[in-house]
Amino acid sequence: MLEDDLSAASFDELGTQFIGRRVNYFPSLPSTMETARSQARQGAPQGTVVIAGEQTAGKGRMKRAWLSPAGGVALSIILYPDMDYLPGLIMVASLAVVGSIREVTGLSSQVKWPNDVLIGGKKVSGILIESGVRGGTVDYAVIGIGINANLRAADLADVSLPATSLSDELGKNVSRPELIVRLLVETERLYRLLKAGGRVYEQWRDSLVTLGKEVSVTSGDAVYHGIAESVARDGSLRLRREDGSLATISAGDVTLRYLTG
């Protein structure tokens, strides 16, 4: 029988150095982001993971809600990176999601800049990075990852993009403990690669479905239209406008809409 009981899952054999050495599981939480942030402020060890069986007030980017019923994966990872590595966390997390989905299900997924993960153009995972920065120093960073695992995407009312789930794609449930194990192992591998100056940016850039497409990007009050031309090492998007000028949009709080393809 497929083992999908998160409350009974053990994450003792991850073989990681720090991510997932401490895992705090809660059957239900308002949001793993809030719990992780308060644990980080109390000095939780780097790599502490907060997992919720379901979230009652899941947070998405741009102050949106993230619907997080039972059957999904909802977790947050606490890190204490140097300032230089903050932009790379989006890349690490997106690649870890794509890699773990591929390893556990065989499904191929793509990254929509800056950090939505799609299967066949439909959103299967969302990533939220929050950090506490004081005087140019990072107090903590929290990587929040939500994956529509074993749930019907049709039940996710109110989502901004067309959604899918792993079980919808596969026609059967996946093992969420196995998916989480792969996700944590991949996150640590990529984070260490990032800190060692390895090819994280290049992998992330090559996994983006956004480049070459005509897009509309909303960032604060500004709306940019143009062709998504490239991404910079700090994660920002370079967008070529119709008049030939180049706009550089930081990967912070933005929404991106394809106008073509």
**List of residues contacting ligand BTN (CB under 6 A):** 31-33, 55, 58-61, 64, 66, 68, 74-76, 116, 126-128, 144-146
In the complex, least distance from residue 224 CB atom to ligand BTN, rounded to whole angstroms:
19
Minimum distance of ligand BTN from residue 130's CB (angstroms): 9
> Of 120 and 198, which CB lies nearer to ligand BTN in the complex structure?
120
Structure tokens at 95: 């690649």
What angle, rounded to 10 degrees, do the helices at 176-195 and 200-207 form?
Answer: 130
Minimum CB distance to ligand BTN smaller for 57 or for 246:
57
Q: Which residues are CB-neighbours of 11 under 8 A, at least 6 positions away?
A: 20, 23, 49, 177, 180, 181, 184
- C-alpha span between 174 and 105 (Å, rounded): 7
Minimum Å gap between C-beta 164 and ligand BTN is 14
Q: How many CB atoms lie within 10 A of CB 240?
A: 15
Residue 73 CB, shortest distance to ligand BTN, in Å, is 8
CB of 145 to ligand BTN, least distance (A): 6
Q: Whose CB is nearest to ligand BTN?
A: 126
Give whichever of 32 and 210 is closer to ligand BTN, judged by the CB atom: 32
State the DSSP code for 1: -
Distance between CA atoms of residues 146 and 143, nearest Å: 10
H or E segment and range at residue 126: strand 122-134
Q: Nearer to ligand BTN by C-beta: 216 or 240?
A: 216
Cβ neighbours for 34, distance < 8 A, ≥ 6 positions apart: none
Shortest distance, position 126 Cβ to ligand BTN, whole Å: 2
Provide the minimum distance between the beta carbon of 93 and ligand BTN in the complex, in angstroms, as a whole number: 10
The residue (of 27 and 198) whose beta carbon lies closer to ligand BTN is 27
CA 90 → CA 113, 182, 194, 246, distances in Å? Answer: 10, 17, 11, 23
Nearer Cβ to ligand BTN (56/108): 56
The angle that helices 176-195 and 88-105 make with each other, rounded to 10 degrees, is 140
Pairing of strands 246-249, 237-240: antiparallel
Nearer to ligand BTN, 86 or 227 (CB): 86
